[in-house]
Structure 1
Amino acid sequence: LQKACQSQENNRAGLGADKKEWIRTEDILERLEKVSDDRIYRVKDALRLGVPVNSVKKLTNIDPWYLMQIKELVKLENELMKFNIPEDIPEDFFRTLKVHGYSDAQIAWLMRVEEKDVTRQRKKLDIRRTYKMVDTCAAEFEAKTPYFYSTFDTENESIPSDRKKIVVLGSGPNRIGQGIEFDYCCVHGVKAAKEAGYEAIMINCNPETVSTDFDIADKLYFEPIYWEHIEEILELEKPEGVIVQLGGQTALKLAEKIVNAGYNIIGSSFDAMDLAEDRGRFSDLLKNENIPYPRYGVAEDVDEALRIANEVSYPVLVRPSYVLGGQRMRIVINDEELERHVLSIFKHMPDNRVLIDQFLERAKEAEVDAIFDGEELLIMGIMEHIEPAGIHSGDSSAVLPTYSLSEQAIETMKKYTAQLAKALNIKGLINIQFAIKDDHVYVIEANPRASRTTPFIAKAYQVPFLNIATHVMLGSKKIKDFEFEKKLEGYAIKVPVFSFNKFPNVDKQLGPEMKSTGEAIRFIDDLNDPFFRKLDSERSMYLSR
């Protein structure tokens, strides 16, 4: 259960004990009655505050057996709080905590010490994860599938080979903003690593993906994309490097820790990734390259946010840094709205900074996906969004190739893509989003990784772009070593798929925060197609802030 909580990618270090617990009994009891995505955490909070198991059962209808298991965690935490420093924890008890799924971060929080101190003491006591093979044959006969999960048992069944290894980080749980598209990227990346002669090791925690099929990679670790788990696998396998460009924002966010731990990032360096992700550094780069971009500012508090918004002029786009899927992104039009939204961001993401961008009203949006090998740039495709700027790229329908942009705008986008790929020192994939207003091209953002449109372009043109990109990242081949032909007659339309019928009370209006749960591909012969004409005529129908 704790491992599942660490897999959720909601900034939790496990089931509670991680500074995000609720403390007001009335709020907790109210939340227990209503089914919600965080109810399991509120169950733990209630038991921690002494609410009887029977009362929790009445409110939730959860079987008492499960509640007793969670109550057991509360008892362990109370025992742990008797110790002052990690060195005081007896080895047996330390191992018991790890067996019960506690991360070093949780133990550190309960003791009010640094996580690194807990990790250091744990390794000193040689309490490390071992790996067991998943029995894919239901014990009918001996399983030989290299499919592993971690445990704190004494015997390790995952024996590292002598071959050169590459680790591919997956994208974790499928959710709005990050879904099956990145799974496609990981599968093709693993296959390319195998072609290049490496032992390909996949790490992902989602059973509903192709990348976690046991016959895709040479070795699969079914583990959370959470640093403590990843670090132990890297220490065991000692790979040549780690590919983080294929697992969306989940994998990308771990790049700094991977580098600091002394491992290689395959493809674009961590500094290149950070340069693209850090709005301040990226805007300075655009300025130096004479590439236009919307005016912006970065705020650490509400007063600073108000000052920046008035400088760049309303309407402005407000968002936290380092997020995917437009999480908590909103267009605001006055000081009052801005204050409310910025406070909400700081409440839910306390360590984050807030980006405030000038919003280009009635601009068109387009995006370019490309591969750069240090010398040559391969533009995979240029997609034009049907909906105006302001609707998240994952929610807008997009047409490949472009259908209404001028030749001049297209050439400008190609030029800026080449400039940025070189300036960012990209090795592998890059996705750049543009806004086009009155034929002036502005760069909105650059993502130094596979985007959710990369598989769409690969399928539309019938070209294995992700295989090419992985070979480029590994340095095993250059773009000039590949021969391919883009096969697309007419146009391909990326159509977002929404699940509003399953969530009847959700606001159906679209804005900068992503709401679609998937996408489909639709081929048309020309722009007279009734499907395209309907999409085009309704492009602003659901636009909201």
Structure 2
Amino acid sequence: MPFKSKCKKSVGEVMAIGRCFEEALQKALRMLNIGVDGLVANTNNGDNHNNLEQDIKQPTPERVFTMARALEQGVKIATIHQWSKIDPWFLHKIENIAAISREIKKAKKPRYDLVLKAKQQGFADKQIGNLLNCSALKIKKFRQKQNILPLTKQIDTLAAEYPAKTNYLYLTYNGIEDDIKYNSAKNNRAKKIMVLGSGPYCIGSSVEFDWCCVNTARTLRKMGYKTILINCNPETVSTDYDESDKLYFEELTVERVIDIYQKEKPLGVIVSMGGQIPNNLSLKLAKAGVKILGTKAKDIDRAENRHKFSQLLDELNIEQPLWQECSDLTKARDFANKVGYPILVRPSYVLSGAAMSVVFQETDLENYLKKAAQINTEHPVVITKFITGAKEIELDAVARKGVLLNYVITEHIENAGVHSGDATIVMPAHKLYVATLRQIKNVARQLANKLNITGPFNIQFLAKNNKIKVIECNLRAARTMPFISKVSKVNLIALAAKAIVGQKVKPIDFNFVLDYVAVKAPQFSFARLAGADPILNVEMSSTGEVACFGDTLEEAYLKSLLATGFRIPQKNILLSLGGIKNQSKFLDSAKKLCQMGYQLYATPGTSRFLNENNAPNKTLQKISASAPPNIKEFLEQGKIDLVINISDEEFSEKIPDDYYLRRKAVDFEVPLFTNLQAAELFVAAISTLKMNDLTIKSWKEYK
């Protein structure tokens, strides 16, 4: 568990509004999208805390839950204050929540006074249900029967001097009446559409999805619709007061979305623009009677549910890696032995590859399966054959009633095995055969038709030996949408918004022959995450991105690296290439570096290979070796300008020396490559371009 410290580690935040601290705190915890129902009475109670004192003394993200658990167990506020040094005022508020939790448990059935009090202190229906061993739906029905309903309040921007008149809204159970009128003739006549936002920024969900929400709202407003945005992230553009007709600073949960939907009575709700969080709500919202605009919830489920989607691909005779739904460890082992390792473990309904893992041997299989099953207990885990050495390709598209309107194809620099959010993406695709492009378009047409897609969608492919296989299909806007819209000069989200509300949109043929190249590169924050291994894999790690244009691929790539803060090496480069395959593939690049005048240093195995193949270098001993000259010493003294560490995929997480090398490079701010294809492209770029060769043009000049 990471400790909180003076060094910032968070990548996002939420803002919760309530009329008491208890209410706002519980709202905020739900907004974080970390799988909790509130401060107490969670469906998943998490780990047992055997040492409460130690867990409270250590400032970790879990500490607030540990303090609540301690109070539930009878630990005194003064004791917790002594352990944590947190102001007793806050501890008394947490005790209030714990006290209500105890009261509800004792009651054993819903009671008007307790349910009202709990709702006023921020309890969700699910929490109350957990305490009474009943469903959230039963609590909801009890509330409605007893007229315990949320009220809408305007955020007071005038410090109570005058009545506030804003479109900033929140819901609370602490009040007497709504601040706005829902039943006016003007309100009932309005053509209203709700757009669900993207929630807090985190690894996997950032400003890209907010861009999609904002562009959707702007497009709808131009078309005469009143837009209602729900989001809880104060950093976003979507939570600016002038981006929508009404802004609810609220949780993106089924309970709260239904509350607002029932008050506003809009034409429907758009869930496909805010990323995975709103997408995950679609099925439950639809079952509760909420009208989902665009692709239907049942079709979203057919794409998100790994088992259903794999079955669909089989029905359509669309190639995919060999797969099997994983119901137990024995079947998983049998499948792995049948197709051969490595295999990929894939949970359903997740963003950024959460709990997705490549398994290379049987001894690791059980741990990875448990991790994947825990991340989403409601949907199955699927295991597939992992194909090594394949290129990864993405298609982003818009469809209306199953007909493809527009699409863009991009390719990854890195081979498959690197999460798409961490990959370096090139547009237009550079190394794809015409036959491959044709296959991709045909698959997109088939899936758009079969899933009756209306709105944005994204398909990820593997390509090897001119054959493609589908990895996954997301029936929502992907994080690449802002990038491809800017590069193609066609706002695909505006197109999708029009399609979703039923406007007839003519298909637009995108010209794949551009006079320029654009590259989207990831931005990492490993320097702030002490101890984290800075290596790329199927689970996303990046916290941001940049995009740059150039006249050639090499120019665009070099610009994008520089935009992330990367420094071009001046003199000394360290190579650590694991395995003869990686060493052989990088040999030509190593020779180019020698010809350019760089001094190469290498680990013993790599050094021997380079010397045998006429690439002069000097040997450095691994960090674990005490003999000089040592890698650690050279890094600490600033004698290395760039580290290229390529490990065999199978052993990348199991070789301590490789980890120590990568970590030391990050800790001493030495630029680092851990991917072979990216390193090769970098060498090609610096061997053909100098800094003075990089052109500076405005976006409009790229036509």
Relative to the length of structure 2, the TM-score reads 0.73
1:394 matched to 2:418: no
CA contact (8 A) 2:439 2:468 kept: yes
Cα pair 1:368 1:379 within 8 Å, conserved: no
- Please show how residues 122-521 of structure 1 align to structure 2 within 5 Å: 122-139=143-160, 142-152=163-173, 153-160=175-182, 161-162=187-188, 163-347=190-374, 349-374=376-401, 376-480=403-507, 489-521=515-547
Query: Structure 2: how far apart are the matches of 1:304 and 1:118?
Result: 39
Could you tell me whether the CA contact under 8 Å between 1:320 and 1:328 is conserved in 2?
A: yes
Which residue of the partner structure matches residue 666 of structure 2? Answer: none
Give the residue type in structure 1 aligned to 2:535.
Answer: Q
Whole-Å separation in 1 of the counterparts to 2:274 and 2:63: 28
List per-residue Cα deviations over 1:409-446 (Å, max 9, x = no partner).
11211121111111111111110000001111111111
Structure 2 stretches of 5 or more lacking a match? Answer: 1-24, 562-585, 590-642, 654-703
Q: Taking structure 1 as reference, are residues 344 and 372 closer, same or farther at Cα in structure 2, changes over 3 Å only?
A: closer
- Secondary structure of 2:318's aligned partner: coil
Per-residue deviation, 1:527: 2.8
**1:30: which partner in 2?**
54
Task: Give yes or no for contact 2:402–2:452 (8 Å, CA) kept in 1.
Answer: no
What is the distance in 2 between the residues matched to 1:252 and 1:243? 9
**Partner amino acid, structure 2, of 1:179:** S
Distance, in Å, in 1 between the alignment partners of 2:367 and 2:54 is: 24
Q: Which amino acid aligns with 1:9?
A: N
Partner of 2:65: 41
Name the SS for the 1:529 alignment partner.
helix
Q: Does the CA-based 8 Å contact 2:343-2:386 persist in structure 1?
A: yes
User: Given residue 506 of structure 1, which amino acid in structure 2 is its aligned partner?
Assistant: A
Larger Rg: 2
Matched letter for residue 83 of structure 2 = L
Normalised by the length of structure 1, the TM-score is: 0.94
2:553 is paired with a residue whose SS is coil
Query: 1:169: Cα distance to partner?
Result: 0.6
SS in 1 for 2:401: coil
Deviation at 1:376, TM superposition (A): 4.3
SS state at 1:17 partner: coil
Amino acid of the structure 2 residue aligned with 1:346: A
| Identical counterparts, % of pairs | 38
Task: Give the superposition deviation at 1:181.
Answer: 0.7
Q: Which amino acid aligns with 2:534?
A: K
- Which stretches in structure 1 are left out of the alignment for 5+ residues? none
Task: Give the conservation status (yes or no) of the 8 Å contact 1:316–1:359.
Answer: yes
Q: Within 1, Cα distance between the matches of 2:305 and 2:103?
A: 42
Deviation at 1:484, TM superposition (A): 9.2
Shift, 1:389, TM fit:
0.2
Letter in 2 for 1:130: L
Query: What's the secondary structure of 2:61's corresponding residue?
Result: coil
Q: Secondary structure at the match of 2:50?
A: helix
CA spacing shift, 1:64–1:419, aligned 2, 3 Å: same
Query: Which range moves more in the overlay, 101-110 or 157-166?
Result: 157-166
CA distance in 1, matches of 2:425, 2:98: 50
Equivalent residue, structure 2, for 1:11: 35
Structure with more relative contact order (C-alpha pairs < 8 Å, separation 6 or more): 1
Counterpart Cα distance in 2 of 1:309 and 1:73: 48
TM-superposed CA distance for 1:140, in Å, is: 6.0
CA distance 1:397–1:27, change in 2 (3 Å): farther
Deviation at 1:59, TM superposition (A): 2.8
CA 1:379/1:14 → structure 2, altered by over 3 Å: closer, same or farther? Answer: same
Q: What is the CA–CA distance in structure 1 between the aligned matches of 2:64 and 2:327, rounded to whole Å?
A: 32
Residue 524 in structure 1 maps to residue 546 in structure 2: no
Q: Does structure 2 conserve the Cα–Cα contact (< 8 Å) formed by 1:497 and 1:520?
A: yes
Give the one of 81, 93, 99 matched to 2:120: 99
Distance 2:321 2:549 in 1: 33
| Offset, 1:278 | 1.8
Secondary structure of the 2:494 match is helix
> What does residue 62 of structure 1 align with?
86
CA gap 1:405/1:132 in 2 versus in 1, 3 angstroms: same
Say if 1:76 and 1:97, in contact at 8 Å, map to a contact too.
yes
C-alpha contact 2:519 2:549 (8 A) present in aligned 1: yes
Counterpart contact for 1:25–1:49, Cα < 8 Å: no
Letter in 1 for 2:242: D
Query: 1:22 touches 1:45 (CA, 8 Å); kept in 2?
Result: no
Indicate conservation of the 8 Å contact 1:133/1:146, yes or no. Answer: yes
User: Does structure 1 conserve the Cα–Cα contact (< 8 Å) formed by 2:391 and 2:462?
Assistant: yes
Q: Tell me the SS of whatever aligns to 2:230.
A: strand
Are 2:37 and 2:43, in contact at CA under 8 Å, matched by a contact in 1? no
**Could you list the per-position Cα deviations for residues 92-150 of structure 1 after superposition, in whole angstroms to 9, with x for gaps in the alignment?**
33211111001111111111122211111111111111111112344565543211011
Q: Note if contact 1:328-1:345 (Cα within 8 Å) is conserved in structure 2.
A: yes
Q: SS where residue 195 of structure 2 aligns?
A: strand
Question: Given the superposition, is the C-alpha separation of residues 488 and 174 from structure 1 closer, same or farther in structure 2, using an over 3 Å criterion?
Answer: farther
The answer on whether the counterparts of 1:193 and 1:470 sit within 8 Å (CA) in structure 2 is yes
Matches of 2:511 and 2:388, distance apart in 1: 37
SS at match of 1:254: helix
Q: AA paired with 2:171?
A: S
Moved more, 375-384 or 427-436: 375-384
8 Å contact from structure 2 (residues 345, 384) kept in 1: yes
Dislocated runs of 4+, deviation >6 Å: 482-487, 533-540
Moved more, 378-387 or 169-178: 378-387
Aligned equivalents of 1:534 and 1:71: distance in 2?
51
Name the SS of the counterpart of 2:45 in structure 1: coil
C-alpha distance in 1 between matches for 2:456 and 2:52:
45
Could you tell me whether the CA contact under 8 Å between 1:23 and 1:45 is conserved in 2? no
Q: Distance in 1 between matches of 2:449 and 2:194?
A: 26
Distance in structure 1 (CA, Å) of the matches to 2:53 and 2:329 = 32
Does residue 53 (structure 1) correspond to residue 77 (structure 2)? The answer is: yes
* Residue matched to 2:566: none
1:294-339 CA deviation, whole Å, 9 max, x = no partner? 0111113323322332233210011221111100111011111001
Q: How many aligned residue pairs are there? A: 541
Q: Tell me how far 1:462 sits from its aligned partner.
A: 2.4
**1:169-197 deviation digits (Å, cap 9, x = unpaired):** 11111101111111000001111222222
TM-superposed deviation, 1:51: 2.2
Residues in 2 aligned to 1:527 and 1:483: alpha-carbon distance in whole angstroms = 23
Distance 1:302 1:118 in 2: 37
Check the 8 A contact 2:547/2:560 in 1, yes or no: no
Deviates more, 1:487-496 or 1:400-409: 487-496
The code of the aligned residue for 2:335 comes to: I
Q: Give CA-to-partner distance per residue, 1:481-508, whole Å, 9 cap, x none.
A: x799999641111111111121131110
Deviations 1:269-289 (A, max 9, x none): 112211111222222221222
Name the amino acid aligned to 2:549. F
User: Which deviates the most, 1-10 or 528-537?
Assistant: 528-537
1:116 paired with 2:158, answer no
Structure 1 vs Structure 2 CA RMSD: 2.3
> Alpha carbons of 1:534 and 1:104: their partners in 2 closer, same or farther (altered >3 Å)?
closer
Residue identity in the other structure for 1:144: K
